[in-house]
Amino acid sequence: MSRQTKTGGSSERSWRISLSSVSIAIIHYPVYDKNGDIVATSVTNPEIHDIARTCMTFGIELCYIVTPLAKQREIAEKLIYHWTDGYGSRYNPARGEALKKVVIKAGVDEMLEHVAGDPIIVGTSSRERPGKTLSYSEIQALIEKGTRPVLILFGTGWGLSTEVVDRCEKMLMPIRGTADYNHLSLRVAVGIILDRIFGERGGYHE
């Protein structure tokens, strides 16, 4: 996908990003709860719909939803089928196209087996991770380079477990607002991060 050249003062930046090389994953296990315990969080209907539409907006290849809970996977698969092949596909075809991007997997290993190529795994967190932090300019450069696909992991609950973070090559710099509070909902965080990387105005350069 080509971006228009963005001119600012004496500098120009020409965007040529292959979005087909970028996928995201919503991790429901293993993640932390507010007490620091490892838990599996619930997959919700609004999460599936809203994140699928966000991925469609920014041209993301696939959105993985990872949960070990069989009943949760079954419900999610039925919802996706309704909108991609059932009555919903005729009632709202655009919604169905977005939900075709969603892939349900039982675990991180199973998801990684499905991902094409040897992806650069980039995690997200509300905390900086010294030695692993990746700026938005740096992830933009990785995607533009295109030598390996990029997989961005988002943790539900109170964030990705240390086990998952250790599997990430890099951790994207946290979202910072104007206050000390830094605990966004998952759907909001996904939208902000994808806009900062791929937004039409040229992304976010820090």
Which contacts qualify for 14-18: CB closer than 8 Å, 24 or more apart?
15/144, 15/202, 15/203, 16/144, 17/140, 17/143, 17/144, 17/198, 18/143, 18/144, 18/146
Q: Which of 6-10, 45-49, 140-144 has the highest mean pLDDT?
A: 45-49
Rounded to whole angstroms, the Cα distance separating 150 from 53 reads 19
pLDDT band at 172 (very low <50, low <70, confident <90, very high): very high
pLDDT at 146: 87
19 Cβ neighbours under 8 A, 6+ residues apart: 1, 58, 59, 60, 61, 143, 198
pLDDT band at 159 (very low <50, low <70, confident <90, very high): very high
203: left (phi over 0), alpha (psi -120 to 50) or beta: left
DSSP string, 74-100: HHHHHHHHHHHTSHHHHH-HHHHHHHT
Q: Give 101's DSSP letter.
A: T
| pLDDT 10s digits, 19-35 | 558 999 999 999 999 99
Can you read off the two tokens belonging to residue 163? 């086990």
**Half-sphere exposure for 186 (CA within 13 Å, toward CB):** 26
Residue 175 three-state SS: coil
pLDDT at 106: 98
Say yes or no to pLDDT of 78 above 50.
yes
Q: Which residues sit opposite 66 in a β-bridge? A: 27, 105
Looking at domain 21-198, its CATH superfamily turns out to be SPOUT methyltransferase, trefoil knot domain (3.40.1280.10)
77 Cβ neighbours under 8 A, 6+ residues apart: 104
| pLDDT 10s digits, 95-133 | 999 999 999 999 999 999 999 889 999 999 998 888 899
| pLDDT 10s digits, 179-192 | 888 889 999 999 99
Domain residue ranges in the chain: 21-198
Rounded to whole angstroms, the Cα distance separating 89 from 91 reads 6
Can you read off the two tokens belonging to residue 176? 């910072």
pTM metric for this prediction: 0.88
